[in-house]
Structure 1
Amino acid sequence: MKVLISGGGTGGHIYPALALIEQIKKEIPNAEFLYIGSDNGLESRIVPDNQIPFKTVTISGFRRKLSVENVKTVLRFLKAVSTAKRYIRDFHPDVVIGTGGYVCGPVVFAAAKQRIPTLIHEQNSVPGLTNKFLSKYVDRVAISFEASKTFFPKEKVALTGNPRAQQVYEASLEKSGGRLTELGLDPNQKTVLIVGGSRGAKPINEAFLQAVPALKDKPFQCLYVTGDVHYESIKSELTTFGELTNIVCVPFIHDMPQVLKHVDLLVARAGATTLSETTALGLPSLLVPSPYVTNNHQEKNARALENNGAAKVIVEKELSADRLVQEMDASLEKENWQVMHEAAKAMGTPEAATTLRKLMEEVIAEKQ
């Protein structure tokens, strides 16, 4: 079987694609892959690092307002479609899958026009322009949130969850609490993980630093992931609080699944990948959605969890040290934690990658 995958721009589009590829390799060992992305997106580094054949097209996203730049985007799109057709002709894929980001637009469109089996995967509760456009042409649309159904042709939609959920769930079973010890934490103590993404989130950083005087005497410990950019300055500032026996600061965690398994509460942004990870593990969370994303989709993602009792949402303008500590205390209370844990677990999709792989095979069979 030959599988062509396209998606990029952010990790939220790339990591689900990689999780799906990993699962297909496990279940179909002789499968071959080609990944098409942009030459300047994160995928241009991440995908080749995972030893996956990689090709590029040149494309940019549409502006939501009329502009001269959109005319250029149309021309780039048409050229990218032509390039994608050449890649498709050379690779002869059995199926083409788009995981979001404007780079998959011309690739999946080109495949659909050549009547190759196609499907797209939407990670967010509110889809982006590219997936809305592609939904008119593809055979099936896989979604991660029930709320996404209304944006797509109902006869094409299938709720699969996010493939990253299965990857994290299975990886979390591989190691014991020894990973917390390596990080300088007590595996027998309640742990709160605070993280704002690979580059950090300034509002979360600021609220946490202001909360340190209150947190250093709490009966739980904090693992604080600052992001590489902010690490040195924050580490220096933490030294002004004296000895902190229950707070550990690191710039980045590469083996997040093993750490998440032994965390009791997560404080983070509300990207789709993060939420798929927390629900797969039944992990309660305090979510601070980024207000700087298209259609405010992070808050809508977060509200989906909050409405089911799996998380608490703190919008950025209401984030403060006092509010942060208050919500941590409340969420770690035994009864509250158990309710959130069960609600998150109920929303989890620990077999999402396998479900999406099965949907892929259905699409292929339907076109034969």
Structure 2
Amino acid sequence: MSAPQPSRPGRFVIACGGTGGHLFPGIAVAEVLRSRGHETLLFISEKQVDSLAAEGYGHLRFEKIPSMAMPRPWSPKMPGFLLGFAKGYRRCANLIRDFKADVILGMGGFTSTAPLIAGWRQGCRTYVHESNAIPGKANLLNARFCRKVLVGWQECASHFKKTGREIIVTGTPLRPRLLIHPKSEDAVRFFGLDPERRILAVMGGSQGARRLNQLVCAARPALEAAGIGIIHITGPADFAEMVKMTPGAAAIEGHSLRPFLAEMENAYAAADIVLCRSGASTLSELAAFGLPSVLVPYPFAAADHQTLNARIFSEAGAAECWPQGELDESTFSARLLALCGDDAKLKGMRDKMRELGKTDAALRVCEVLEGDAFHGASCK
């Protein structure tokens, strides 16, 4: 992809709220678009996690829109969903019109549905990006209102064939700050940890993961006895409980406990191994840093997409996939200690993880959007 930059600035709306897995790739695309002279407007949800994530990007314009997952047709929640959708649609339509948008890009989730339909009705060019190995219900619906479908993995493409839309594999966009790797020693000191220790980073995604948090707290004494430092990002909802489960955590030399971290590049640069869920955005970031990982898929994810994401990495030898239902405190601790101490295996996983990295995905997405909107037919 080598489309020339357009002769005039474009106006791009990116609907990307609801989870970090939607929001952070959307931010990545927005930052590349702005670096190429365009104007951007990002739609996010009213969730606390979206507000926290957006705080570090004051140079970008964000607008909150009401959204909720679509319930089953017979659910008693359906009337409330429809009312909320109508409210969100009206707000999106007004914002898109006032912004004079050329292009609408939806990053998945029902936060992107109202903007895409509103933009489609106003004559904007519309696109969806799906990061996971299997698409969610929202993107399968949204694709019908879009010109092209962009996907993170080839494994996802077949799920969109019935839409009749052109499908392009771009990878999952990474924020520019994650493409500049801090020195490992500096990153470890950022967390107040000892650079001589092996470092385990634990994170459950932007919203946290209660079961992972509980398992790590139970395993902490054994891990620290083995000389393993821990960077533990709990998620805002579980932070207070984890502090109670880890008395004196702030004073423990080998343990950095945080509710949320905007500077994820420091966690990745500091870590020797990562324990996490298997959302697509997180996996793409791990691959960019070449980090061997233990993946514990969220067992209640739609269509079990996190297990399918994890399988891509485990089958490549870049990660291990540990189903949550098979883990208890004793087996978890023993398996984790064994892996942390296996230098040869970690090196092999690190090499395989790097092979999966796609660091130019945000640029690929931008070039598709620019190529259609400014080098093809007018979108207005």
Distance apart, 1:275 and its partner CA: 1.0
Most deviating of 299-308 and 320-329: 320-329
Q: Deviations over 1:62-96 (max 9, x none)?
A: 21342354355446545644543333332222211
Superposed CA RMSD:
2.9
Q: Which residue of 2 aligns with 1:36?
A: 43
User: 1:96 and 1:230, CA in 2 relative to 1: closer, same or farther beyond 3 A?
Assistant: closer
Q: Which residue of 2 aligns with 1:335?
A: 344
The one of 99, 121, 146 aligned to 2:107: 99
- In structure 2, the gaps of 5 or more residues are 1-9
Distance apart, 1:230 and its partner CA: 4.3
- In structure 1, the gaps of 5 or more residues are none
- Between the aligned partners of 2:50 and 2:233, the Cα distance in structure 1 is 23
Distance apart, 1:283 and its partner CA: 0.7
The one of 226, 229, 234 aligned to 1:226: 234
User: 1:218 and 1:89, CA in 2 relative to 1: closer, same or farther beyond 3 A?
Assistant: same
- Identity score, percent: 26
Distance apart, 1:186 and its partner CA: 2.2
2:268 matches 1:260? yes
Distance apart, 1:199 and its partner CA: 5.3
2:21 matches 1:12? yes
Q: Deviations over 1:173-230 (max 9, x none)?
A: x455223124232224321112234554332222223323432332433333334454
The one of 220, 228, 231 aligned to 1:212: 220
- Number of matched residues? 363
- Between the aligned partners of 1:58 and 1:237, the Cα distance in structure 2 is 35
8 Å contact from structure 2 (residues 183, 269) kept in 1: no
2:354 matches 1:355? no
Matched ranges for 1:1-368 at <5 A:
1-26=10-35, 28-29=36-37, 31-39=38-46, 42-43=49-50, 46-47=53-54, 50-51=57-58, 52-67=60-75, 69-70=77-78, 73-74=81-82, 76-77=84-85, 80-153=88-161, 156-164=166-174, 166-167=175-176, 169-172=178-181, 174-198=182-206, 200-231=208-239, 234-235=242-243, 237-239=245-247, 246-324=254-332, 325-330=334-339, 332-364=341-373, 365-368=375-378
User: 1:162 and 1:328, CA in 2 relative to 1: closer, same or farther beyond 3 A?
Assistant: farther
| Matched AA of 1:344 | M
User: 1:305 and 1:328, CA in 2 relative to 1: closer, same or farther beyond 3 A?
Assistant: farther
So what's the TM-score if we normalise by structure 2?
Answer: 0.84
- Between the aligned partners of 2:76 and 2:357, the Cα distance in structure 1 is 43
Distance apart, 1:297 and its partner CA: 1.9
User: 1:150 and 1:186, CA in 2 relative to 1: closer, same or farther beyond 3 A?
Assistant: same
- Between the aligned partners of 1:148 and 1:156, the Cα distance in structure 2 is 13
- Between the aligned partners of 1:182 and 1:266, the Cα distance in structure 2 is 17
SS of residue in 2 equivalent to 1:163: coil
SS of residue in 2 equivalent to 1:162: coil
Most deviating of 292-301 and 10-19: 292-301
User: 1:59 and 1:147, CA in 2 relative to 1: closer, same or farther beyond 3 A?
Assistant: same
